Amino acid sequence: MKSDRDARHKRAMQRKKEYVDGRIAAATEDRGLLLILTGNGKGKSSSAFGMLARSVGHGLRCAVVQFIKGAWECGERLLFEDNPLVEFHIMGTGFTWETQDRQTDIAAAEAAWSKAEALLADEATDLVILDELTYMLTYGYLDKARVLEALRGRPARQHVVVTGRNASRELLEIADTVSEVNEVRHAFNHGVKAQKGLDY
């Protein structure tokens, strides 16, 4: 009885190995990717910073532009901002519902975007994280065509990670990998404060 099951398992695993090996052999391209992490669930920025950690671990040159500055000191910023492999730029305003001033927000978004544009033209930067960029497009703070052009024209080997809810259709169209983080439940909606280390 047991050996029957073991034999079936072995056959299934052999088939699976053939399938996986075939897929690995078919993936021969090696180039810079555009990743988008969108959706309403928690995990977009923290995933982006996970890739930053991986990249820094490999000695890659990285840059982060944060398009919304939260009210608190993020752990990822404290960890990476003095790292010589990481260039950090933070948009000089807080959440748009806190500044409540469209012209101030637009000026800050443009200043941050010019940093991003310079990075997207820099062959020496291996990874660029554009955290919360999508809001700059949904609020109309940045010109979509200009953003798409810089992303498309970047160095061929440069990876870019964009985070934020409601990524626009055009952005999704030019992305290589898109993940939508779906909210199943979030403690904040049940009265729990943002937690150090998990949320910031």
Tokens 């949320």: give the residue.
199
Rule CB under 6 A: choose which of 42, 61, 115, 144 binds ligand ATP.
Answer: 42
Rounded to a whole number of angstroms, the minimum distance from the CB of residue 121 to ligand ATP is: 26
Q: Does 163 bind ligand ATP (CB under 6 A)?
A: yes
- Residue 127 near residue 63 (C-beta atoms within 8 A): yes
Residue 194 interaction partner, one of ligand ATP, Mg ion, none, beta carbon < 5-8 Å per kind? ligand ATP
Rounded to a whole number of angstroms, the minimum distance from the CB of residue 130 to Mg ion is: 11
First to last CA, the chain: 53
Taking each helix axis from N to C end, the angle separating 144-152 and 102-119, rounded to the nearest 10 degrees, works out to 10
Q: How many other C-beta atoms lie within 10 A of the C-beta of residue 44?
A: 25
Residues that bind Mg ion (CB under 5 A): 44-45
| Interatomic CA distance for residues 95 and 30, integer angstroms | 37
Which one, 44 or 154, has the nearer CB to ligand ATP?
44
Which one, 45 or 158, has the nearer CB to Mg ion?
45
Rounded to a whole number of angstroms, the minimum distance from the CB of residue 156 to Mg ion is: 27
